Structures are given as structure tokens and as C-alpha cells.
Amino acid sequence: MKFTLQATNWNKVRANSLAFFTREDKGILQDYAKMYGGGSLTSSVSALIESGDMKGKTDELFTLYPTKSETSASRVFLVGIGKPEKLTLEVVRRAAARAAKKAEAMKSKTLAMYLPQVNGCSGAEIAFACVEGIMLGLYKFDKFFKKEEVSTPLETVTFMEGDHGMYGSTSAEVKAAIAEAETICNATIFAREMENEPSNNKFPETMAAWAKTLAKGSKVKVTVFGPKELKAHKMEGTLNVNKGSVKEARFIIMEYRGAKNAKAQPVVLVGKGITFDTGGISIKPAAGMGDMKSDMSGAAAVIATMKAASDLKLNVNVIGLVASAENMPSGSAMRPGDIITYANGLSVEVDNTDAEGRLVLADALIWADRYKPKSVIDLATLTGACVVALGHTTTGMMGTDTAMMQQLSRSGNATYERVCELPIYDEYDELIKSDVADIKNAGGRWAGAISAAMFLKRFTTYPWVHLDIAGTARSEAATDYIPKGGTGVAVRLLTHMLKEESKA
Ligand code: BES
Ligand code: MN
Ligand code: ZN
């Protein structure tokens, strides 16, 4: 996919399809006259709008078939973007995605569009949102289909400057925004690819190989621990969770030192990398278990964000840590009732082998201490309870780093990968009390997302934020730019946050 910015208009541009964003507004026709000039196309547009068939609502997309004398495009899409007062960058992401998907469905190789105007937003920001909608909307996990069943891809999208200009941005600024959005979307897509990969092709060693591949030729330094190093560093959580697997566990360290001062305190990102979660001996029910192939979405977000941070040359130090294991039941598997003693001396009763995410994360949280981090953010598909609480649209956030949580809230709103804070009051510590060890790994029926966070908190020695992405890492039904399956959630969120950090 290629994006170009051209100082041209719809009647001159060379493209298979043209998309016009259409507001739900009384002034819609005047809008057209002003924006798109005269010509016979205007009259077909007028006819459509005057017919009352199109109102400009966000679920509308109409196709017109212009004559050769009007434009080189064989199709014109009128894409509804709703009421002007409700027009946000998120509406733009969604509309751009719908336009691109429609163009691709009609086998267009090239699509041209004007950027819609969004109050208070620059052309650079609007172009950024269009690129997000288009790239993320067109993503498909189709590599396992027979070749002929794969659709013809859209190859080029042209943003036309038209006569209205770029809403206060220069061409150079718009081009830079496009390039940046492409980098971040490619990272998000890579996270989706990792999430969607089936678990017969995806093991802890695969996660490590992906981290290395991604870092190749970049400033990111990757170190991988296998069983020997895991034992030497007493990474007992990861080792124990992996005991039932025929594959080996891995601990992955990714270092990107982009700050002017390479010794400046880093932000540490920690990812849960369970390449398949059967539940272990506390085995999960069969229905929907296949979704547990993406129980490494936290790890995917971390690995992909490291790549984005380095590609964007962000002026920050970031460390990525991934604890990766496969949670399988077998004769050698960890059992309920087992007691694990961690490198920091804390002992944990394994109450439920299906609460494995917190067990592997604990190793990474202990390890993170050595970086004297400014903040540690862990990402994990940690609890079904979080999905019950917040559904699939919002990530659960808990932690001790108030400033970072505020930044993540702002970044969440900006990227629309929104987070909502849940409390971690001391009283919840009761939930993870054990009769035989310092704590236990499952907190019972109530406040399951919080008891998981209370567990993690015991391993932190620095400002910390926990993001439970159990609900947001997979989508059950496709929306405009989030297809069904792995969403690549948190790559855009974290990269936005790191960008803000790099300005500070
Ligand atoms: N990976 C699951 C959580 C999950 C559930 C992710 C649904 C995505 C969708 C996690 O390892 C798990 O099994 N958690 C248990 C914890 C319980 C045993 C304390 C859960 O939520 O049921
Ligand atoms: Mn589990
Ligand atoms: Zn899990």
C-alpha cells in the first residue's frame, strides 16, 4: 500500500475510484459546490442527495458511476461521516476504512480522496487518521487461504489537496504524518499477525524469533533467555507454567536507547507471552478455547511497539520484556497446590493453573527492577473478569503510577484505544491470601481483574501500570478498522504515550 499527496482535483486525478466524504448537514450541497467545483458529477451528487436517499449518516456509502468525460475514475463513493458537530478523528478513521474496503471489494487498485475537515484538527492529523483507517481496515489474516481466494489488493491511495488546501498543514507536514502513521500501522499489523498465527506455528521460541526479526537492522538490542538462563535467574513462574509443554520457555529482552542520555531512566514494557493457554491441569472448557492462541497479545504489543519506537527514532529509552511459555496439561505439568518461590523470595501457592499469566509476569516484573525504571507498564490478556467488566472496547488499567495512568488515558482517547482505571485498594489484598504461602495466584469469584493486579503489585518496586487487554486484544465481530480476531491493541496507545514521553 502506497500513499501519495497530490495538488490535484477529482476531475484531474488518475484513480480507479474516488471517495467523497459526505456530512449529514443541510448545507451539504453548497459544501459540494464549494469543495468540488461545478461539472456534471456535481449534478449526479445533487440528484442523489435531493432524492433523500443519502443523508450523510455514518453507516451510508453510495456508489455513483460517472461518465468518462467527468473523471477517469470508474466509481465514485459518497461516504457518510455524520453530523459536523460529531465529526472527530475516530469518525474519519472509520469512514476512510469503509471507503478503502469498498474500493478493494470493487477491485480498484487506486483510490483518491479529499481529506474531510475536522474542527480543531490539522490536515496532518486528519491524514494520519485516514491512513490508520485505511491500513488497519484493509488488514486481513488470509495467508492460509488458497491463493485464488485472496482478493486483489488496493495499491495506492491519493490524498488530493484540492482548492481547500490542507487545513493549516504544509504538504511536508502531511507527508511526515502519513509516513509516521504507516510505521505505527505496520507495527500494529505485525502485532495482529502474531496474534492470529495459530499455536501449532507459535511457541515461545517463535516469539523470540519474531522479536529478533523485527529488531534486525534497527537500534533495538535483543537478548533471549532459554531454560538454562531462566533457571540461573530463578525465573520460576515462567519455568513452572511451561512445565507441561514439550517446547522450551523463553524470556525476551529488547532494549532501545533512543534518549540523548542513554542512561536516562527507561520506560519498561512487560508483555504476557502465553503462546497457548489451555488452562493447564485446571483445564479450560472446550468452547472458545481456540481463542487462547492470542494469549500472547501483551507480548505482541510490546515487541511491535519496540519496533515502532525505533523506526520513529523516538527520543526515549524503552526496555521491552516478554515472558513466554505454553500452558499445557501433561504428566509433567504444574499442579494446583504447587508452591513456587520467586527470585525476590516471595512464595506463591498455585491455586489454579489457569491463572498462569500473573505467574510468568511476576518474573518479568522482578527483572524490571534492575533497570531502575521511570515507569513499568505491563500488558496482558489476564482475566476473563476484565472482559466481563469492560467488554471488548476498553482496556482495564490499574497501577501506582498516577502520572503515567493520566498519560495513558490521554493517549487512549487520542488513539481510541481507550483505557479505564479500576481501583487497587489495599482491602483487595485479602483476596490473594494463602494458608500455605505468601500469596496465592487466584483470588476467587469477585473482582477478578483487580485481584490479578494485586498479585502483580507484590512484585513491583517502582511506579507501575497494569493494562488488562483480555477484552480488547481480540474482536468478536469486525468493525470498520478492527477486523475479527487479533486487534494489535495497545501498539498505537503505547507509541502515542512514548511519543509524548519523548517530547517531555
Ligand atoms: N488468558 C486467560 C484470560 C482471558 C480470558 C483472556 C478470556 C482473554 C479472554 C487467563 O490466563 C485466565 O485463564 N484467567 C483466569 C484466571 C482465574 C483462573 C483466576 C480467568 O480469568 O478465568
Ligand atoms: Mn489462563
Ligand atoms: Zn492466559
pLDDT at residue 47 above 70?
yes
- pLDDT for 31 equals 58
CATH number at residue 164: 3.40.220.10
**Residues 165 and 217 occupy one common structural domain:** no
pLDDT at residue 72 above 90?
no
> How far apart are the C-alpha atoms of 188 and 286, rounded to whole Å?
29
Q: Which of 296, 354, 358, 445 for mutating ligand 1's site (highest number of atoms within 8 Å of CB)? A: 354
pLDDT at residue 150 above 70?
no
**Minimum CA distance residue for ligand 1 atom 16:** 355
What pLDDT, in 10s, does the model give residues 240-252?
999 999 999 999 9
Is 126 near ligand 1, meaning CB less than 6 Å away?
no
Mention every residue, 6+ apart, whose C-beta is less than 8 A from residue 504: none
What pLDDT, in 10s, does the model give residues 290-342?
999 999 999 999 999 999 999 999 999 999 999 999 999 999 999 999 999 99
**Residues 366 and 495 occupy one common structural domain:** yes
**Residues 254 and 110 occupy one common structural domain:** no
Q: Which ligand is closest to the CA of 446, given by its number?
A: 1
**Minimum CA distance residue for ligand 1 atom 3:** 383
What pLDDT, in 10s, does the model give residues 336-386?
999 999 999 999 999 999 999 999 999 999 999 999 999 999 999 999 999
Tell me the mean pLDDT in the region 280-287. Answer: 98
Catalytic residue among 55, 175, 212, 284: 284
Active site residue 335: no
Kindly state the percentage of the chain with pLDDT values over 90: 88
**Residues 416 and 467 occupy one common structural domain:** yes
> How far apart are the C-alpha atoms of 62 and 451, rounded to whole Å?
50
**Residues 219 and 364 occupy one common structural domain:** yes
pLDDT at residue 28 above 80?
no
Is 468 near ligand 1, meaning CB less than 6 Å away?
no
> How far apart are the C-alpha atoms of 144 and 166, rounded to whole Å?
41
- Band of pLDDT at residue 9, cut at 50, 70 and 90: confident
Per-residue HEC secondary structure of 120-132 comes to CCCHHHHHHHHHH
Residue 465 DSSP SS3: strand
Mention every residue, 6+ apart, whose C-beta is less than 8 A from residue 37: 9, 11, 163
pLDDT at residue 149 above 70?
no
Q: Is pLDDT larger for residue 291 or for residue 12? A: 291
With residues binned 3-state (H G I as helix, E B as strand, rest as coil), the percentages for the chain, rounded to 5, are: 40, 20, 40
Active site residue 93: no
| Total tally of structural domains belonging to the chain | 2
Tell me the mean pLDDT in the region 191-210. Answer: 98
Q: Which of 282, 378, 383, 390 for mutating ligand 1's site (highest number of atoms within 8 Å of CB)? A: 383
Catalytic residue among 94, 202, 358, 374: 358
- Band of pLDDT at residue 104, cut at 50, 70 and 90: very high
pLDDT at residue 30 above 60?
no
**Residues 487 and 351 occupy one common structural domain:** yes
Gap from CA of 214 to ligand 1 centroid (Å): 28
> How far apart are the C-alpha atoms of 339 and 359, rounded to whole Å?
11
**Residues 215 and 156 occupy one common structural domain:** no
CA-CA-CA-CA torsion sign (26, 32, 34, 39): negative
Helix (H) or strand (E) holding 450: helix 448-457
